[in-house]
Every structure is written in C-alpha cells, then in structure tokens.
Amino acid sequence: MIVIDPGHGGTDSGAIGINDALEKDVVLSVAKEIIVLNKTIFDERFAIYLTRYTDTLISLKDRGQLTRALKADVFVSLHCNALPKTSKGMEVYVHDPKTLQPHIKKSIGLGVSILIESTGKLGFKGRGVKFANFQVLRETVAHCSSVLVEMGFMTHADEADYYLKKKNIRAMALAILMGLYNYFNAGL
Ligand SMILES: [Zn+2]
C-alpha cells in the first residue's frame, strides 16, 4: 500500500511558478499520472491511494491519519520548491531523527532510490536527501517509510516550464514509480 500525498490544494496553492503555474496543480497531475501508470505499465502491481484526488485542501493532520488508517507501507508527499531564484534541482526530505529508527533508514533508502531515477533519467540536478522536521513526515515515519519529494523549483524558469508538458508530467510520475519499484525490489 502506497499513499501518495499531493501537497497543498484548494485555497492553499503552494508555490507560484515564474510562469504562474501553481504547485498544487503540478503535484496533483503527477500524482494522478502515477495512478494511471500503475495500471497501464505496472499492471496494478501497487495499491496506491492519494490523499486528495481533486483541488481541495486536506489538513496535514488528516493526511497523516489517513496514512496510518490505511496501514500504508510507504508515504510519499509531493511538492515543488521555490526560491532563491537561481536554485534548481530535486531533493527529498526525511524526518529529522533523534534516534536512527528502522523507518528512518528505510525512508532514506526510498529517497535515494527516487532521486536516482528522477535525476539520472530526467536530468534534474540532484540536491540529495535531507532531514527536516515537517509535520507530515513526523506523523507518518513511526508507521512507514516516509519521504517528501521536492520536484524542482517553481521559481526556476526551466523547471516551472517542464511541467507544462504532459509528457514531462508522465516522465516524472514514471521516475517516482520506478524509484518505488526499485526500493521494494531491493528489499530495503
Ligand atoms: Zn509544497
């Protein structure tokens, strides 16, 4: 069971792109494409659930609660970065551990796996796996592998424009799915 969490939604647009695209729309379109590719390419190999399927705002608490209720194996929150203006590339956040518990180690493995696929195949600069104390990670990491993926910078012209093309939405969705596939296959 994989929970994909498209960040923001509704009144919370997230980052606003230099091309006026909204983070909330980009992350939802990638999440929906992950569902499609799981059917068309992966033959429904994964059970995938989204925390939101439409342009609505779900509280951070509810996103965590849903993940726990579904007894998810993996939680992947999708976001895009913003500012400073010259910044570009992808990074993955894992909950900042006080002690290196099993789910933290697995989360780092998942983060590396997603970054290898997305930076290696799509040409995004890799900014690495980083630690942060984000609520959605804090509320899920005790229960499953949990990462927050920043899929490039909305404030960088090339990266904001990347998501204007449907084929690029699909490419990012596939990279994330391949990252998950390799993570599970590696038995991390
Ligand atoms: Zn965000």
Average pLDDT, stretch 165-187? 95
Share of the chain above pLDDT 90, in %: 93
**Whole-number pLDDT of residue 43:** 95
**Whole-number pLDDT of residue 111:** 97
For residue 175, how many other CB atoms are within 10 A of its CB?
Answer: 24
d(CA 79, ligand 1 centre) in Å: 4
d(CA 8, ligand 1 centre) in Å: 6
d(CA 23, ligand 1 centre) in Å: 7
- What is the SS3 assignment for the chain? CEEEEECCECCECCCECCCCCEHHHHHHHHHHHHHHHHHHCCCCCCCEEECCCCCCCCCHHHHHHHHHHCCCCEEEEEEEECCCCCCCCEEEEEECCCCCCHHHHHHHHHHHHHHHHHHHHHCCCEEEEEEECCHHHHCCCCCCEEEEEEEEECCCHHHHHHCCCHHHHHHHHHHHHHHHHHHHHCCC
Instruction: Output 187 or 40, whichever has higher pLDDT.
Output: 40
Average pLDDT, stretch 26-43? 97
Tell me whether the omega of the peptide bond preceding residue 6 falls within 30 degrees of 0, making it cis: no
Rounded to the nearest integer, the mean pLDDT of the chain is 95
d(CA 156, ligand 1 centre) in Å: 15
For residue 125, how many other CB atoms are within 10 A of its CB?
Answer: 13
d(CA 184, ligand 1 centre) in Å: 26
Question: Residue 171: pLDDT band by 50, 70, 90 thresholds?
Answer: very high
Whether the Cβ atoms of residue 154 and residue 83 lie closer than 8 Å to each other: no
d(CA 9, ligand 1 centre) in Å: 10
End-to-end CA distance of the chain: 15
d(CA 19, ligand 1 centre) in Å: 17
Domains present along the chain, CATH in parentheses = 2-185 (3.40.630.40)
Whether pTM > 0.95 for this model: the answer is yes
pLDDT at 188 over 70: no
Q: Which tens digits make up the pLDDT trace of 55-110? A: 999 999 999 999 999 999 999 999 999 998 889 999 999 999 887 788 999 999 99
